[in-house]
A and B are shown apart, each in its own frame.
Chain A
Amino acid sequence: MVQYARARLDASFAALSDATRRGVLEQLGRADASISDLAAKFDMTLTGMKKHVSVLEEAGLVTTEKVGRVRTCKLGLRRLEEETAWLERYRQLWDARFDELESLVEELQRKEKINGRKKRE
Chain B
Amino acid sequence: MDVRSESDPTPMTNRSTVERTSDRELVVTRTISGPARIVFEAWTKPELFKRWWVPKSMGMTLVACELDVRIGGGYRLAFDYEGSTMEFFGKYLEVTPHSRLVWTNDEGDESGAVTTVTFEETGGKTRVVVHDLYPSKEALDDAIASGATAGMPAQLDQLDELVATLPQA
Q: Which of A's residues lie within 8 Å of B, judged by CB? A: 1-4, 82-83, 86-106, 108-109, 112
* Residue among B14, B18, B53 with max Cβ neighbours from chain A (10 Å): B18
Q: Are A94 and B30 in contact (CB under 8 A)?
A: yes
Q: Which of B's residues lie within 8 Å of A, judged by CB? A: 1, 6, 14-22, 26, 28, 30, 32-35, 38-39, 41-42, 48, 51-58, 128, 130, 144-145, 147, 149, 152, 159-160, 162-163, 166, 169
Neighbouring A residues of B52 by C-beta, 8 Å? 97, 100-101, 103-104
Q: Say yes or no: A4-B159 contact (C-beta < 8 A), given A97-B53, A100-B55, A105-B39.
A: no
Neighbouring B residues of A93 by C-beta, 8 Å? 55, 58, 152, 159, 162-163
Give the shortest distance, in Å, between A38 (CB) and chain B (any CB): 21
Q: Are A86 and B56 in contact (CB under 8 A)?
A: no
Neighbouring B residues of A96 by C-beta, 8 Å? 55, 57-58, 162, 166
Main secondary structure of the interface of A (DSSP, over half): helix
Give the shortest distance, in Å, between A107 (CB) and chain B (any CB): 9
Neighbouring B residues of A90 by C-beta, 8 Å? 18, 26, 28, 149, 152
Neighbouring B residues of A1 by C-beta, 8 Å? 17-21
Docked complex Cα distance between A96 and B56 (Å): 9
Neighbouring B residues of A106 by C-beta, 8 Å? 33-34
Docked complex Cα distance between A58 and B145 (Å): 16
Neighbouring A residues of B21 by C-beta, 8 Å? 1, 4
Q: Say yes or no: A91-B17 contact (C-beta < 8 A), given A108-B38, A109-B34.
A: yes
Docked complex Cα distance between A91 and B48 (Å): 22
Q: Say yes or no: A105-B42 contact (C-beta < 8 A), given A1-B19, A4-B20, A100-B52.
A: yes
Q: Say yes or no: A99-B55 contact (C-beta < 8 A), given A89-B160, A93-B152.
A: yes
Give the shortest distance, in Å, between B135 (CB) and chain A (any CB): 17
Give the shortest distance, in Å, between B99 (CB) and chain A (any CB): 16
Neighbouring A residues of B20 by C-beta, 8 Å? 1, 4, 83, 87
Give the shortest distance, in Å, between A90 (CB) and chain B (any CB): 5
- Select A91's contact among B28, B51, B53, beta carbons within 8 Å: B28
Neighbouring B residues of A95 by C-beta, 8 Å? 15-16, 30, 166
Give the shortest distance, in Å, between A83 (CB) and chain B (any CB): 6
